[in-house]
Structure 1
């Protein structure tokens, strides 16, 4: 399940390795990090407008999936039908912007909430709004509560996920410096994995890939993220319809509140054959 990685995803550098008193020159591989400007085209035929809505630092690769996942999880689009196409902007001003500026063309019927975009998204961890306001804003943007019933996941499967995720992380194996978001079946079969320097980007890439493959909503999926569980990651998982989310690290208090509110089962500290279930434990058997 390892994805093809473009050469722009990593970079070779010369380092000096120090071990005790021994110093030697060697080559090392770093995960690439570059800015991605996201633009949207919107409006009726013949009256199209274009606007930059976000700039994110990401690892190049799967850029179109990143943009599609971002648009979905931020409530800018509601389904695949709202997205006409995604392309690298051909009219960039500088050579270094080539393949670092992506334009998503929305359907003429898709409504773009410009006042909300100008408030620059409620999900930022530094936005200053309270937790209750953040959760209500996600609901207002069209994120429904997950349905009761459905998927059940054995605890033994949760225990296996970190090892299976790590085995499929090609870039992490080379660089040691990337986050991953992996989608599994309830029996632990790896369906999708994406890597990025940013945790939220890795998840947007995975959700964008699922969107392009017409797999949404992901009501039969189990998500594992490689770091901690933040409010933003829980929100994105809930928008995609993911019922079970597990994290190698700790959840934040707002992440637990959001998961409880959205009906999402949240597990944390999934490592060394143990984990905590923070809410909706009935999905774990």
Structure 2
């Protein structure tokens, strides 16, 4: 059985057309649904957070989350990452939903500030954080600004969509992608949580020795929220391009951090909330 999607019997309901005009039509069939399961991330046995995610690339997700939270700054700050034997369902089989990280002495100590006491949902990346001001202080002071090519920006959603294999199956999963300044995909990850997808991309780049991402653009299939701009800024991305809207705090943070921020991006238009055009 696939770990990232499952089949359910669903009833499709449609309004009839032509000879069936005015009728409500139903059709029961199998449909593919994206898996959502919890991942508990621990450091040395201490639970840091539990996030609702789509299984897969969990090591990248954990590295990206730790990096965005400011606990680690290099891949060498993590010595081991392993699934715990206690991560089991009632049937006693390992579901790979508990990941324990061993941090090197070079990493920041795990203090109460880093512990999320409430679960992180698939919709929110800052749930449980004590205050927004604490996150603002984690963002590096200097990001090298870039001027955006409008044609490139408008092409990025389609380029991201071309890599979204799971979305084509389920229609219910977000994507994040790191693209070079010519629009070539470097890494694309999918997850039911937009912030998890971003963490997976950032974690991949960290493990590959490609952070800070000063010569890349982070592209999101979702809206541009504060936590996504914060994660992008922490990773050194000079620009974030989103398919949907930007929040007010996302715009303020992007402008303060010197990032370019585009939203409502389509093949023929976008809104530029921060940054400059070529």
Q: TM-score scaled by structure 2? A: 0.87
Contact map agreement 2:246 2:263 (CA 8 A) in 1: yes
Cross-structure match for 2:141: 145
Cross-structure match for 1:55: 50
* 1:110 equivalent in alignment to 2:107: yes
> How far is 1:139 from its partner?
4.6
* 1:177 equivalent in alignment to 2:172: yes
Q: Distance in 2 between matches of 1:211 and 1:69?
A: 7
Q: Distance in 2 between matches of 1:179 and 1:277?
A: 22
Contact map agreement 1:179 1:227 (CA 8 A) in 2: yes
Contact map agreement 2:65 2:203 (CA 8 A) in 1: yes
Shift in alpha-carbon separation, 1:240–1:200, aligned structure 2, 3 A: same
Cross-structure match for 1:65: 60
Contact map agreement 1:153 1:187 (CA 8 A) in 2: no
Contact map agreement 1:145 1:261 (CA 8 A) in 2: no
Query: What do you get for the CA RMSD once the two structures are aligned?
Result: 2.1
Q: How does 1:7-86 map to 2 (within 5 A)?
A: 7-19=2-14, 20=16, 21-41=24-44, 50-86=45-81
Q: Secondary structure at the match of 2:246?
A: coil
> How far is 1:18 from its partner?
2.9
Contact map agreement 1:183 1:206 (CA 8 A) in 2: yes
Q: Distance in 2 between matches of 1:160 and 1:166?
A: 10
Q: Cα deviation per residue 1:161-218 (whole Å; 9 max; x = unaligned)? A: 1111111100000000011111111111111111111110010011011111111000
Cross-structure match for 1:44: none
Q: Distance in 2 between matches of 1:157 and 1:84?
A: 39
Contact map agreement 2:143 2:236 (CA 8 A) in 1: no
Shift in alpha-carbon separation, 1:193–1:148, aligned structure 2, 3 A: closer
Q: TM-score scaled by structure 1? A: 0.85
Contact map agreement 1:40 1:51 (CA 8 A) in 2: yes
Counting matched residue pairs gives: 262
Contact map agreement 1:89 1:98 (CA 8 A) in 2: no
